Chain A
Amino acid sequence: MTEPRPDYLPEAIREKLIHDPRVAEQDLRVEVQAHRVMLGGNVASPQLKQRITEVAKELLPDYEVVNETTVVPAAEPDDEEPVS
């Protein structure tokens, strides 16, 4: 694959993260500034967050990876909503 132009690099990374079976996340935010890539969005577990960092480092070995994704909590709900 030809290296994408800088303007297209974040989208190329976003696509790769969607198609990498270790990640397969469709709504990660990817920004690239100089030699730093910043990742945002929601993830289901700390393990997945860690894996995303690893995959991003594989994709961009010369870049610093700043993973700012949020691990979504999954505790029991506090209350219930009466709908009818």
Chain B
Amino acid sequence: MIRIAAVGDLHYGEGSKEILRPGLQHLQDRADLLLLAGDLTRCGGPDEVKILADELRGLPVPVVAVLGNHDYHADREDEVRRVLEDAQVRVLEGEAVTIDIDGARVGIAGTKGFGGGFRGAHGSDFGEPEMKAFVGHTKMLSDRLERALTDLDADLRIALLHYSPIEATLEGERLEIYAFLGSYLLAEAVDNAGADLVLHGHAHHGVEKGRTPAGIPVRNVAQPVIRHAYNIYTLDPDRQALAAAAGGIS
């Protein structure tokens, strides 16, 4: 069994020191991998992410992250990324990484993702340039996610997002902001490529569990939703390999 620990929306900033660290004490006994689903900072400051990076540095399991909208706020996302990478946190944007865990290849494809809405109520890249830019950004990131997931050669494949691919995990959020919380294009990308698990954050008032239209499990790991340092999901690499050989996505 591969044990995936995941959390998002830590929103680190001045005064956040040691919020996460106590909860990570036994991580090594409980999980093989830690995934961070974006919004690692309050305002996207490299000094903010440094506080988190110092708590993650030297963790005994690999750490993989995507950034969230808060991490872009200061227009310093490249620096935020570098601070994390200096602490051996692998940051994905339209990219993938494969990690060997006890002989099983665990592939993670990640993107921040973006909004737009859901089937029957999605914005169109039509009209003003601002609207085209908004929806165009989601399309571009979804296309890259699909390519990164498809290209993964792994026993288990995980899509790591910040924005939500489905509506089900947004329940509890106000309907008016669904279009700012996620996009079905992310779910379509995952369903086209196939995956074993999709993780996202961003929806602080949502719920944890849902599925893509093709049935792939989705978990909203926003910290205010899971209310723990992280949640753990276990995946069986052998079972998935069999399902893939049979040509199906289970």
Contact = CB atoms under 8 A, between A and B. Distances in A.
Main secondary structure of the interface of B (DSSP, over half): loop
Interface stretch (A7-15, A39-47, A56-64): A39-47
Given A73-B228, A77-B229, A27 B15 contact: no
A81 interface: yes
Contacts of A24: 11, 13, 42-43, 70, 73
Contacts of A74: 19-20, 22-23, 223, 227-229
B224 A22 contact: no
Contacts of A21: 13, 42-43
Interface string A18-33: 0001101111000000
* Secondary structure dominating the interface of A: loop
Contacts of A42: 204, 224
B233 interface: yes
B79 to A, nearest CB: 16
A51 B26 CA distance: 31
30 contacts: A21-B42, A22-B14, A24-B13, A24-B43, A25-B11, A42-B204, A44-B11, A44-B19, A45-B15, A45-B19, A47-B15, A72-B223, A72-B224, A74-B19, A74-B227, A74-B228, A74-B229, A75-B22, A75-B23, A76-B25, A76-B30, A77-B30, A77-B228, A79-B232, A80-B30, A82-B234, A83-B196, A83-B235, A84-B196, A84-B217
